[in-house]
Structure 1
Amino acid sequence: MNAEQLQLIAQSAWQALPTLLAAAPITLGYALASMVLGLPLALLVALLRLSPVTPLRFLSSLYVSFIRGTPLLVQIFVIYYGLPSFGVTLSPLLGGVLALTLNAAAYLSETMRASILSVPRGQREAALSLGLTPRQTMRLVVLPQAARVALPSLSNTLIGLVKDTSLVSVITVVELLRSAQLVIARTFEPFGPYLAAALIYWLISSVLELAQRRLEARLSRQG
């Protein structure tokens, strides 16, 4: 690769940068929306997997197994292109968020379930002996401790979601990767825009990782 080629790549990356930066909030918004919506669903699934009711445990386990055992790209296709066969048509925005939410919830539920189980049984028994109901024990004693244990994995899931948003480009969502593809369609120079998009993904992930470390350090001082 000579100096002229390097200059061409740098120039194409620089020219693509405004378009890509404008799409970056869309990528981050998809990740945050999927995380916010996925957390309560993940908690519900985790509690169902710990339920003494066998059908509830089976159904929640089946959901987690199916989501974790199939590619996210296939899940996006099923939701966006498959649901219209049953009369359910979703916009690219809703279809993408729904697919990412369902996928994230399955993985987050395993993190939450393990975190809940990590809380010593003696603390639950002590809370119950003090007159707390099982629901109060879970809400006031178990979940706060489980949340601290789960924090690193939850943060890693959010970082993973930022990268997974690139897959919704297949349903015409104009996020970061799709924006790079549109730039390439105009300039016919792929390396620069793709490299610029990769750097933006890396920058977003690095900022989120830094925020995760600071939050963990603050929680450690409080603990």
Structure 2
Amino acid sequence: MGSIQLVFHYMPLLLKGLRYTILVSVYAIMIALCIGIFLSIVRVSVGSSLVGKIIKKIITIYISFVRGTPVLIQIYLIFQVLSVWGLNLSGFVSGVIALSLNSGGFMAEIIRGGISAIPKGQIEAGYSLGMSKRKIWTRIILPQVFKIVLPQLTSEFINVIKVSPMLSVLAVVELTRTAQRLVGQTYQTLPFYIAIAVLYFIVCALLEELIKLQKRRIMRGQEA
């Protein structure tokens, strides 16, 4: 059986692995977004008291750690820490948690940048209208922030997809792990790794086109 025929023969398994990759990435990015929003709101809201400074310092250390250490190490650490705590979670769940915590640090910085771009006059106008802090966040700040940082959020989603193959160390049967298994069965390495490279490229290229569409839409909105 030729290389192309071999790849097409096992394509259903590769597509199943790709679906698993996308599923892990979607779960991770959704949780990471919640982490990023929470950390950003806390950093803005705690003030400059001693407790506030300590909280900000803890958040800064967390963000610096996830941005300054290899993702693979973080995955191992999360898996081992959860095991020590008696949480014998599946590789899938542990992997989602690890990717979420990693991406959450990047999300926090992205959203913080979006918040800093909101004119303070809008927030002051909200208070003058008698709006509560929660309403100001949900009706004034966050809607504008998401509009500003949507391209960066999509880029972060692409990054999560690109690092998801590292979950193969936890025996998560995503796309790369599926290819590794097929290589072990068929002893054909190159065809399967070329195939998964093409699949990753297609998914990321589609998301990059989505980013371009988002940027054009935002620019048209600003011009209007």
1:222 Cα offset (Å): 4.8
Counterpart amino acid of 1:71? P
Residue of structure 1 in register with 2:180 after alignment? 181
Q: 1:87 to 1:129 in 2, by over 3 A?
A: same
Counterpart amino acid of 1:41? I
**Is 1:23 paired with 2:17?**
yes
**Is 1:43 paired with 2:37?**
yes
1:38 Cα offset (Å): 1.3
Quote the Cα distance in structure 2 between the aligned partners of 1:86 and 1:95: 13
Residue of structure 1 in register with 2:163 after alignment? 164
Residue of structure 2 in register with 1:125 after alignment? 124
CA RMSD, 1 decimal: 1.8
1:208 Cα offset (Å): 1.9
Counterpart amino acid of 1:25? R
Quote the Cα distance in structure 2 between the aligned partners of 1:66 and 1:217: 34
Quote the Cα distance in structure 2 between the aligned partners of 1:59 and 1:138: 23
**Is 1:100 paired with 2:94?**
no
Normalized against structure 1, the TM-score is what?
Answer: 0.90
Quote the Cα distance in structure 2 between the aligned partners of 1:115 and 1:35: 18
CA contact under 8 A between 2:151 and 2:214: conserved in structure 1?
Answer: no
Counterpart amino acid of 2:9? Q
**Superposed, which structure 2 residues align to 1:51-66 within 5 Å?**
51-52=46-47, 53-66=52-65
Quote the Cα distance in structure 1 between the aligned partners of 2:124 and 2:84: 50
Q: Counterpart of 1:189 in 2: which secondary structure?
A: coil
Counterpart amino acid of 1:30? V
Residue of structure 2 in register with 1:208 after alignment? 207
1:165 Cα offset (Å): 1.0
197-206 or 132-141, larger mean C-alpha shift = 132-141
Quote the Cα distance in structure 2 between the aligned partners of 1:173 and 1:132: 47
Counterpart amino acid of 1:190? T
Quote the Cα distance in structure 1 between the aligned partners of 2:93 and 2:12: 26
CA contact under 8 A between 1:13 and 1:195: conserved in structure 2?
Answer: no
CA contact under 8 A between 1:11 and 1:192: conserved in structure 2?
Answer: no
1:137 Cα offset (Å): 1.8
Unaligned runs of 5+ in 2: none
Q: Counterpart of 1:132 in 2: which secondary structure?
A: coil
Counterpart amino acid of 2:30? V
Q: Counterpart of 1:164 in 2: which secondary structure?
A: helix
1:217 Cα offset (Å): 3.8
1:221 Cα offset (Å): 4.4
Residue of structure 2 in register with 1:3 after alignment? none
Residue of structure 2 in register with 1:34 after alignment? 28
1:111 Cα offset (Å): 0.2
Quote the Cα distance in structure 2 between the aligned partners of 1:55 and 1:136: 27
Normalized against structure 2, the TM-score is what?
Answer: 0.89
Unaligned runs of 5+ in 1: 1-6
Quote the Cα distance in structure 1 between the aligned partners of 2:7 and 2:131: 60
Q: Counterpart of 1:116 in 2: which secondary structure?
A: helix
**Superposed, which structure 2 residues align to 1:82-161 within 5 Å?**
82-161=81-160
CA contact under 8 A between 1:49 and 1:61: conserved in structure 2?
Answer: no
